């Protein structure tokens, strides 16, 4: 919990599994209590982000779950970063799969909302927004603002990512065995009559040859730094920055892609393990971006299919309807395969509760 931004997905999952084995004989609530609930919101947020929350809650009685949810939702208006705490609540709620646990969570936050709604105007505004995100209440102003954001994220009009006669993308690859394998597989998906691959030395340029003009810039993993620098220099020279940015690599490489973002980015695809945890950082650099992320382990089998299908929609000049794209992708992966299981952890922009909360909150300021 003291290295939330630095910890690798594999490290967190490994430590989490070791911890869970040690608390097998007792409840996970007792584990939190024994540690005086130190930074427990951060830990719960990380469990939600790495899709391990259900397992953690399964080691509690119903009474303990109610106690935990009450602690989690109460008093965030007094936190140093109350929006971050609100996102933790949204992410947690979105990760709860059990209907009975969702009901307990809703009861906890509704009860606290009733306590503060007439005594603390700022707290009322924040909690009303959370209730709107959960679609279980809230004032009309926050509900309307949330509904506007949800509608705006369901469909991305093509003109937002097709500017000055073309769509520009940057894909980041990294110099390790996984990066080299992902890069080779990625190139293979574009070896068809709709695309042309041009070698630029330290990077490659993939251009559409039919339909709308699309240019995809991707550094070679073997020239990771030189390739990324060359692409950046090209964008700076042309003063045309990417509309779509895709991170392809482990979570500890994500900062390279995120820190390259500009307000021009309309789609950010975090194809890395645990990419879900980087949402707030992405929105700091690209406030209007629609974000695709994974809640656990990213895989090239899903990433490459998703990238290709997305680019086919763009090449054809169609608006991006995320529900339709997800439906198409779901049919591409054979039931029960690793890709099919991993794809279920990928979150489209309009279903990311944390991002929705941040965007709605900012729209209400």
* pLDDT, tens only, 25-69: 578 999 899 889 998 988 998 888 788 899 899 989 999 999 999
Would you place residue 79 in the very low, low, confident or very high pLDDT band (cuts 50, 70, 90)? confident
Q: At residue 270, what are phi and psi to the nearest 5 degrees?
A: -95, 85
Degrees to nearest 5, angle at CA 274 with 273 and 277:
150
Degrees to nearest 5, angle at CA 48 with 47 and 51:
80
Closest CA to 42 of 89, 75, 77: 89
Whether 87 contacts 94, CB under 8 Å: no
Q: What is the pLDDT of residues 199-255, one digit of tens each?
A: 999 999 999 999 999 999 999 999 999 999 999 999 999 999 999 999 987 766 788
pLDDT over 70 (residue 162)? yes
Angle, in degrees to the nearest 10, between helices 322-332 and 300-315: 130
Q: Does domain 156-364 have CATH number 3.40.50?
A: yes
Structure tokens at 217: 């810039």
Provide, rounded to the nearest whole percent, the portion of the chain with pLDDT above 70: 94
What's the Cα-to-Cα distance from 341 to each of 8, 82, 274, 346, rounded to whole Å? 21, 34, 15, 10
CA distance 37 to 43: 10
Domain ranges within the chain, ordered by starting residue:
9-138, 156-364
Q: What is the pLDDT of residues 252-293, one digit of tens each?
A: 678 888 899 999 999 999 865 555 567 888 888 999 999 998
What pLDDT sits at residue 345? 84
What sections of the chain are H helices per DSSP?
9-22, 28-34, 40-49, 53-57, 62-73, 82-95, 99-116, 121-134, 140-154, 177-189, 224-238, 254-258, 279-285, 300-315, 322-332, 338-343, 353-364
Strands 155-156 and 320-321: antiparallel
**Maximum alpha-carbon separation in the chain:** 65
What pLDDT sits at residue 195? 97
Q: Is 331 exposed, middle or buried (0-12, 13-18, 19+ CB in 10 A)?
A: exposed
Structure tokens at 310: 């997305």
What pLDDT sits at residue 85? 83
Stretch (H or E) spanning 199? strand 195-199
CA distance 244 to 307: 10
Would you place residue 335 in the very low, low, confident or very high pLDDT band (cuts 50, 70, 90)? confident
């Amino acid at each position: 919990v003291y290295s939330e931004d630095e910890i690798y997905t594999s490290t967190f999952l490994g430590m989490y599994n070791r911890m869970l084995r040690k608390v097998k004989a007792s409840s996970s609530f007792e584990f939190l209590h024994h540690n005086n609930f130190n930074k427990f919101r951060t830990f719960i947020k990380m469990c939600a982000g790495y899709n391990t929350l259900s397992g953690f809650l399964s080691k509690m009685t119903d009474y303990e779950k109610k106690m935990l949810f009450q602690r989690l939702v109460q008093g965030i208006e007094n936190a140093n970063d109350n929006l971050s705490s609100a996102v933790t609540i949204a992410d947690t709620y979105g990760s709860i799969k059990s209907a009975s646990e969702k009901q307990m969570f809703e009861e906890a936050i509704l009860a606290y909302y009733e306590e503060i709604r007439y005594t603390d105007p700022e707290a009322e505004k924040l909690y009303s927004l959370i209730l709107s995100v959960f679609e279980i209440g809230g004032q009309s102003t926050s509900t309307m603002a949330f509904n506007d954001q949800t509608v705006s994220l369901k469909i991305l009009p093509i003109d937002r990512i097709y500017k000055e006669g073309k769509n520009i993308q940057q894909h980041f690859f990294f110099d390790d065995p996984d990066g080299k394998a992902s890069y080779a597989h990625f190139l293979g998906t574009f070896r068809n009559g709709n695309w042309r691959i041009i070698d630029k030395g330290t990077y490659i340029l993939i251009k559409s040859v039919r339909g709308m003009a699309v240019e995809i810039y991707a550094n070679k993993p073997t020239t990771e730094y030189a390739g990324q620098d060359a692409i950046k220099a090209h964008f700076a020279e042309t003063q045309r920055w990417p509309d779509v940015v895709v991170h392809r690599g482990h979570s500890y490489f994500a900062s390279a892609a995120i820190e390259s973002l500009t307000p021009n980015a309309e789609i950010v695809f975090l194809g890395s393990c645990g990419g879900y945890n980087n949402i707030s950082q992405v929105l700091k650099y690209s406030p209007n971006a629609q974000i695709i992320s994974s809640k656990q382990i990213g895989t090239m089998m899903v990433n490459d299919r998703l990238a290709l299908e997305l680019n086919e929609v763009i090449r054809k000049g169609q608006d991006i309807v995320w529900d339709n794209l997800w439906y198409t992708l779901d049919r591409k992966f054979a039931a029960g395969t690793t890709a099919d299981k991993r794809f279920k952890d990928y979150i489209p922009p309009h279903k990311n509760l944390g991002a929705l909360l941040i965007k709605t909150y900012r729209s209400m300021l």
